[in-house]
Amino acid sequence: MNFIETSIPGVYIIEPKIFKDDRGYFFESYNEPEFIKHGITNRFIQDNQSKSSYGVIRGLHMQLPPFSQAKLVRAIQGRVLDVAVDVRKNSPTFGKHVAIELSDENQRQLFIPRNFLHGFSVLSDQAIFAYKVDNIYNKESEFGIRYDDPQININWGIPTDKVITSAKDRIANTLQDLLQRIK
């Protein structure tokens, strides 16, 4: 596995070593000793999966402390633009984001530490998206920021008139709302 640190410390792109032949392919999607060797010591306790069609944007979501979650995410089928936004209090990269294409072709994964907003847009006809989390979900700790918050300014790779999102995500908070909450 190749661990590539992004422009935001703690966020890693993980590229597996893929073994291909005429039967198909094989790769390790998770290897605890390799992750630990790169400073990722989170213990994942739950796997989640979603299926979405082109134009869907899921996010930006997070769990507030004490239920914050680190995530290890990947596209099992199709292509997504995966986004992690740093909202760690006092972080020098607060409000900055990393956007990485994950696909069934590149088999890349993204490790997102706790206290980050997370979301993705679907760039292919359909996508199946999987993620591991290291803490349980708590409804009262759920927090979301609008995918189109101008302060974060994410290019989701989807024309505005093609965006499909939930009613909850359309009326979500802003980064300013989060700043008020974490003071």
Domains, the chain, ordered by start: 44-182 (2.60.120.10)
Over range 117-122, report the average pLDDT. Answer: 98
Instruction: Report the 10 Å Cβ neighbour count for 43.
Output: 9
Reply yes or no on whether the pLDDT at 12 is more than 70: yes
Tell me, what's the pLDDT at 172? 84
Exposed/middle/buried for residue 69 (C-beta within 10 Å: 0-12, 13-18, 19+):
buried
Over range 58-63, report the average pLDDT. Answer: 94
Over range 77-91, report the average pLDDT. Answer: 96
Beta-bridge partner residues of 129 = 50, 75
Out of 30, 61, 137, 147, the active site residue is 61
Tell me, what's the pLDDT at 55? 98
User: Residue type at 20?
Assistant: K
Q: Is 97 a catalytic residue?
A: no
Q: What is the DSSP string of 76-94?
A: EESEEEEEEEE--TT-TTT
Out of 12, 97, 131, 147, the active site residue is 131
Residue of higher predicted confidence among 183 and 1: 1
φ/ψ (deg, to 5) at 12: -120, 140
**pLDDT band at 40; cut points 50, 70, 90:** very high
Length of the chain: 183
Reply yes or no on whether the pLDDT at 20 is more than 80: yes
120-179 pLDDT, tens digit per residue, is 999 999 999 999 999 999 999 999 999 999 999 999 999 999 999 999 888 888 888 888
- Beta strands 57-63 and 142-144 are antiparallel
Reply yes or no on whether the pLDDT at 21 is more than 80: yes
How many angstroms separate the most distant Cα atoms in the chain? 56
Tell me, what's the pLDDT at 62? 95
